[in-house]
A and B are shown apart, each in its own frame.
Chain A
Amino acid sequence: MLKFVTRRVAQLVPILFGVISVTFLIMYIIPGDPVLSLVGERYDDETIGRIREELGLNKPLPIQYVDYIGKVIRLDFGRSFVTGRPVIESIKEYFPRTLLLAFSSMLIAVVAGVIIGAISSLNRFKWLGRALMSFSLVGVSIPVFWLGLLLIYLFAIKLSILPPSGYGNGSLRYLILPAVTLSFASMATVARVSRASFLDIASEDFIRTARAKGLNEFVVFGKHLFRNALIPVITIVGTDFGSYLGGSVLTESIFGWPGLGRHIVQAILKRDFPVIQGAVLFMAVLFMLVNLMVDLSYGFIDPRIRVAGKEE
């Protein structure tokens, strides 16, 4: 197990290096100039030149790259060009809010998705099963932006039961709409995958054996069917974690949620290189760690995978 973990962690290093390099290069390839965001509408070329020099943007690209790699190795992500604030401080401040949103969405997606999947698998040939699957198809197709505005219109403007936007110091009523919006597409996917998985496992021999042993339906479902059907769901949730973080970019903008996603959007609009590079790198590391954890978690859920790992 330890060998497996070590190998997987070692594999992350070249990926990380790739992420750092690509993020760095993209910043310089895409059009736009960070200095233009700092000087406003009227400026003179001399001031631009001096600010560029101050920020080190006048150095040749390879030197800037080497400087940047050196800083990253020392865990120095620099300061925002716009606010002058250390990037690491912003990440520390904004990330917990994005994490809160991502986990809440994940919770909603998994709980609601599995329930929908289970109900529709049990009602496979009935109208309820079909209706739930149609609902999940709609869920996968709805754009986050449109859904967010729709929920604001319904729950904030028409029903006046939830606030339209804001953070509200993380209170539940501010979290509901963005979390539901962010969870929607994933919830629909989880529902479809879990339905397929439930149907698949239900036709396995060991389920028939369990029933033949005389176990009641509750135990068959809870102990044998449910646990086994969860494996593909965990894969989906793990790989979808990136979409929670990515989706948070839009969701946070719509709902004025002060998380890392919105922070990145603002930084991109202003070409605030240190913030973009720092935040993207952070997200990439996180995404890789989550994938690693998903891989490791299979072993805990399905002993066969653990055994296979040992034999290897």
Chain B
Amino acid sequence: MKKRIIELVVILVSLSLFQVSCTRDEPPPMLRMALQTEPSSLDPAYAVDYSSGLITSLIHSNLVRIDTEGKLCPDLARSWEISNDGKEYLFHLGSSRFANGKRVKSRDVLFSFKRLLSPSNLSPRWWVLAPLKGARAYHEKGEWDSGSVEVINDSTVALRLERATAHFLSLLSMPAAGIVCPGQMEAEERDYGRNPCGSGPWSLSEWVESERMILEPNGFYTGKKASIDGISFRFIPEAMTRIAEFEVGNLDILEIPHAELKRWRTAGLRLEKTEELRIVYIGFNTGKYPFNDRRVRRALNMAIDVEAVIAKILFGAGRRARGVVPPMLGGQERQSDIYRYNPQMAKSLLEEAGLGDGFSMEIWQRESPEGGRILECVQAYLGNIGVKVRLVTRDWSAFKQAVDHGTPDAFYLDWFADYPDAENFLAPLFHSSNAGGGGNRTGYKNHSVDSLIDFASSLPDNEKSLKLLLEAEEIVYGDAPWIFLWFPVRYEAVSGRLNGYTIPVIFNGQRFLNVSF
């Protein structure tokens, strides 16, 4: 009897496991991806985080867009003309349609831009259109300048700027400048962020909160048709769980954490890589002693063997930053190697600054296993020149609040490009008007840098503008408000069935129209 019962249990367990394993689904003809965080809104005016920006850009079209290589290309606008003084842009729209079939007209551009700037909408991204004539006055006082966005006819719209802005087209490629369907906006009001209607190649098919989001091809999209049935984004907060999902074949694309890189490189899987438009750094609180002394900041730059950290901790997935502008945007090559690893020189600089006996400092970081490993190396290197480092870890919200209020001595952070332009690596990060939450979290202030950035931004000619920006970069590099670490290389594992996928250099550069199975 006892034996019979045991037999029965064994058979039942085997059958159930067999049944479970047999129910594993065949991969659907849909691209399967995972996001660490769920988008908070798909409304261009409120899409401020990475996930929201990524998906909003797939659903909405802009006048212009950025491709996977970071180049500016037409989107809704077939072509455009820029006046000689760089203050007027004339865009000629194509025959694009929203996902509800309505044609995208010039007045929709007016509607979307006015909405982004409106004082009642409180969009944190209103600054994207700040160069428009009278934009600031409208945002602050509600007085609209009808000359700033003029509807010439259904397919021609003129944008007029307060002053020439070299990177204005790049700004127009940001998710915040996406064109929304006014009809849908009026119908949904505050729920537009959950039921968006744009003229991008994809439209929202399903959003199950905390689980997944599915995009389907926008049937009215007039550009290149997608050759896949859709894109599914699953929200999986844990990196290890995302890796497991990829390993069992439930995902087609997976970002590989640097700590895992060695294993994946040797596993014989298909890996894609690209140097991101992103820089990793340790920022000093330049208003605080002893970091208000340039010699101290330069000494700390020399005390760290950044190349060794890249090799050992990142397994080579980064390029040492000798400046702040990524090489792809024209930076790096012209910089001399003034911060080559040289602890002796670092010590003598500290002595010169009256800190020959060393000092103590705190470096703050947000919770991240990789950041922890990197900062432990930094701690050891700085310890070698007599600087005692205490590492402080906080969650993102507390970290950001402390850094923006200038609490820490120094902080470990990175900067992702909003748009591919050298200006985006200088103005927000080093212009004194952006101190604190504007992006300049070190409180760095240099009048020459401010003037160069301002002048460069006001030039209609991109080449001249870049030249001035690189001059500003040279000054910043010499002043060392940061410990300049690296430009990271992003690695992604790609499933064997996926063709035509490349990692975009900027978060909204990939539209998944060239991928197929």
- Mark A residues whose CB is within 8 Å of B: 30-34, 36-48, 50-51, 54, 82-84, 90, 93-94, 149, 152-153, 156-157, 160-167, 173, 253-256, 258, 262-263, 265-266, 268-271
Known contacts A31-B402, A40-B125, A271-B397; A165/B438 CB under 8 A: no
A160 and B248 contact, CB distance less than 8 A: yes
Kindly list chain B residues whose C-beta atoms are within 8 Å of the C-beta of A156: 244, 248
Kindly list chain A residues whose C-beta atoms are within 8 Å of the C-beta of B437: 36, 39, 42-45, 48
A36 and B400 contact, CB distance less than 8 A: yes
Kindly list chain A residues whose C-beta atoms are within 8 Å of the C-beta of B24: 160
B48 and A262 contact, CB distance less than 8 A: no
| Complex CA–CA separation, A269 to B241 (angstroms) | 19
Pick from B20, B37, B236, B237: contact of A173, CB under 8 Å: B20
Pick from A43, A48, A84, A173: contact of B190, CB under 8 Å: A84
Asked whether any CB of chain A lies closer than 8 Å to the CB of B490, the reply is no
- Give me 5 other A-B pairs in contact (C-beta within 8 A), A32-B397, A157-B247 excluded: A40-B49, A41-B416, A45-B437, A46-B140, A266-B38
> Which of B20, B190, B396 has the most chain A CB within a 10 Å cutoff?
B20
B241 and A152 contact, CB distance less than 8 A: yes
Known contacts A256-B237, A256-B238, A270-B397; A40/B23 CB under 8 A: no
**Minimum Cβ distance to chain A for residue B414 (Å):** 10
**Minimum Cβ distance to chain A for residue B117 (Å):** 12
Known contacts A82-B40, A166-B211, A253-B237; A47/B126 CB under 8 A: yes
Q: Between A and B, how many residue pairs show CB distances below 8 Å?
A: 137
The chain B residue sitting closest to A258, CB to CB, is B210
| Complex CA–CA separation, A84 to B192 (angstroms) | 11
Kindly list chain B residues whose C-beta atoms are within 8 Å of the C-beta of A54: 122
Interface string of B415-441 (1 = CB under 8 A from A): 010100000000010000010111100
Kindly list chain A residues whose C-beta atoms are within 8 Å of the C-beta of B23: 173
6 pairs, A vs B, C-beta closer than 8 Å:
A51-B122, A84-B193, A161-B21, A165-B238, A256-B238, A270-B40
Kindly list chain B residues whose C-beta atoms are within 8 Å of the C-beta of A166: 211, 234
Q: Is the interface of B mostly helix, strand, loop or mixed?
A: mixed
Kindly list chain B residues whose C-beta atoms are within 8 Å of the C-beta of A93: 209
Known contacts A42-B438, A44-B437; A258/B428 CB under 8 A: no
How many residues on the B side are at the interface (Cβ–Cβ under 8 A)?
55
**Minimum Cβ distance to chain B for residue A267 (Å):** 11
Pick from B17, B48, B140: contact of A161, CB under 8 Å: B17
The chain A residue sitting closest to B191, CB to CB, is A84
Kindly list chain B residues whose C-beta atoms are within 8 Å of the C-beta of A45: 436-437
| Complex CA–CA separation, A219 to B191 (angstroms) | 63
Pick from B40, B238, B396, B438: contact of A43, CB under 8 Å: B438
Known contacts A42-B439, A256-B241; A157/B127 CB under 8 A: no
The chain A residue sitting closest to B39, CB to CB, is A83
The chain A residue sitting closest to B437, CB to CB, is A43
Pick from A33, A164, A268: contact of B401, CB under 8 Å: A33
Known contacts A42-B437, A43-B124; A256/B234 CB under 8 A: yes
Known contacts A31-B401, A160-B21, A254-B238; A50/B394 CB under 8 A: no
Known contacts A83-B41, A163-B248; A256/B236 CB under 8 A: yes
Interface string of B119-141 (1 = CB under 8 A from A): 00010111100000000000010
Kindly list chain B residues whose C-beta atoms are within 8 Å of the C-beta of A160: 21, 24, 248
Asked whether any CB of chain A lies closer than 8 Å to the CB of B245, the reply is yes
B211 and A36 contact, CB distance less than 8 A: no
A263 and B241 contact, CB distance less than 8 A: no
Kindly list chain B residues whose C-beta atoms are within 8 Å of the C-beta of A36: 397, 400-401, 404, 437
Asked whether any CB of chain A lies closer than 8 Å to the CB of B235, the reply is yes
| Complex CA–CA separation, A88 to B78 (angstroms) | 47
Kindly list chain B residues whose C-beta atoms are within 8 Å of the C-beta of A47: 122, 124, 126
B250 and A164 contact, CB distance less than 8 A: yes
Kindly list chain A residues whose C-beta atoms are within 8 Å of the C-beta of B236: 165, 256
| Complex CA–CA separation, A39 to B52 (angstroms) | 12
A94 and B210 contact, CB distance less than 8 A: yes
Known contacts A42-B439, A47-B124, A256-B238; A157/B248 CB under 8 A: yes
Known contacts A157-B247, A161-B21; A262/B237 CB under 8 A: yes
| Complex CA–CA separation, A240 to B46 (angstroms) | 41
**Minimum Cβ distance to chain A for residue B403 (Å):** 10
**Minimum Cβ distance to chain A for residue B142 (Å):** 13
B244 and A165 contact, CB distance less than 8 A: yes
**Minimum Cβ distance to chain B for residue A247 (Å):** 15
Kindly list chain B residues whose C-beta atoms are within 8 Å of the C-beta of A149: 240
A262 and B20 contact, CB distance less than 8 A: no
The chain A residue sitting closest to B416, CB to CB, is A41
Pick from A32, A51, A255, A256: contact of B235, CB under 8 Å: A256
The chain B residue sitting closest to A33, CB to CB, is B401
Asked whether any CB of chain A lies closer than 8 Å to the CB of B329, the reply is no
| Complex CA–CA separation, A162 to B418 (angstroms) | 40
**Minimum Cβ distance to chain A for residue B356 (Å):** 35
The chain A residue sitting closest to B176, CB to CB, is A40
Asked whether any CB of chain A lies closer than 8 Å to the CB of B395, the reply is yes
Kindly list chain B residues whose C-beta atoms are within 8 Å of the C-beta of A165: 236, 238, 241, 244-245
Kindly list chain A residues whose C-beta atoms are within 8 Å of the C-beta of B46: 38
**Minimum Cβ distance to chain B for residue A143 (Å):** 14
| Complex CA–CA separation, A40 to B49 (angstroms) | 6
| Complex CA–CA separation, A44 to B123 (angstroms) | 11
The chain A residue sitting closest to B130, CB to CB, is A44
| Complex CA–CA separation, A268 to B396 (angstroms) | 10
The chain B residue sitting closest to A40, CB to CB, is B48
The chain B residue sitting closest to A36, CB to CB, is B400
Kindly list chain B residues whose C-beta atoms are within 8 Å of the C-beta of A164: 241, 244-245, 248, 250
**Minimum Cβ distance to chain A for residue B364 (Å):** 11
**Minimum Cβ distance to chain A for residue B13 (Å):** 11
The chain A residue sitting closest to B22, CB to CB, is A161
**Minimum Cβ distance to chain A for residue B345 (Å):** 34
Kindly list chain B residues whose C-beta atoms are within 8 Å of the C-beta of A44: 127, 437-438
Interface string of B217-240 (1 = CB under 8 A from A): 000000000000000001111101
Kindly list chain A residues whose C-beta atoms are within 8 Å of the C-beta of B235: 256
Pick from B125, B211, B395, B439: contact of A258, CB under 8 Å: B211
A253 and B127 contact, CB distance less than 8 A: no
Kindly list chain A residues whose C-beta atoms are within 8 Å of the C-beta of B245: 164-165
B397 and A33 contact, CB distance less than 8 A: yes
Interface string of B434-454 (1 = CB under 8 A from A): 101111000000000000000
Known contacts A45-B437, A160-B24; A50/B122 CB under 8 A: yes
- Going nearest first, the 5 A-B pairs with the smallest beta carbon separation are A40-B48, A32-B397, A258-B210, A39-B124, A31-B398
Known contacts A84-B190, A256-B234; A42/B247 CB under 8 A: no
> Which of A32, A46, A82, A263 has the most chain B CB within a 10 Å cutoff?
A32
Kindly list chain B residues whose C-beta atoms are within 8 Å of the C-beta of A269: 395-397
The chain A residue sitting closest to B246, CB to CB, is A164
Kindly list chain A residues whose C-beta atoms are within 8 Å of the C-beta of B38: 266
Kindly list chain A residues whose C-beta atoms are within 8 Å of the C-beta of B404: 36
Interface string of B157-172 (1 = CB under 8 A from A): 0000000000000000
Kindly list chain B residues whose C-beta atoms are within 8 Å of the C-beta of A42: 127, 418, 428, 434, 437-439
A40 and B124 contact, CB distance less than 8 A: yes
| Complex CA–CA separation, A36 to B125 (angstroms) | 13
| Complex CA–CA separation, A44 to B395 (angstroms) | 22
The chain B residue sitting closest to A260, CB to CB, is B210
| Complex CA–CA separation, A186 to B396 (angstroms) | 32
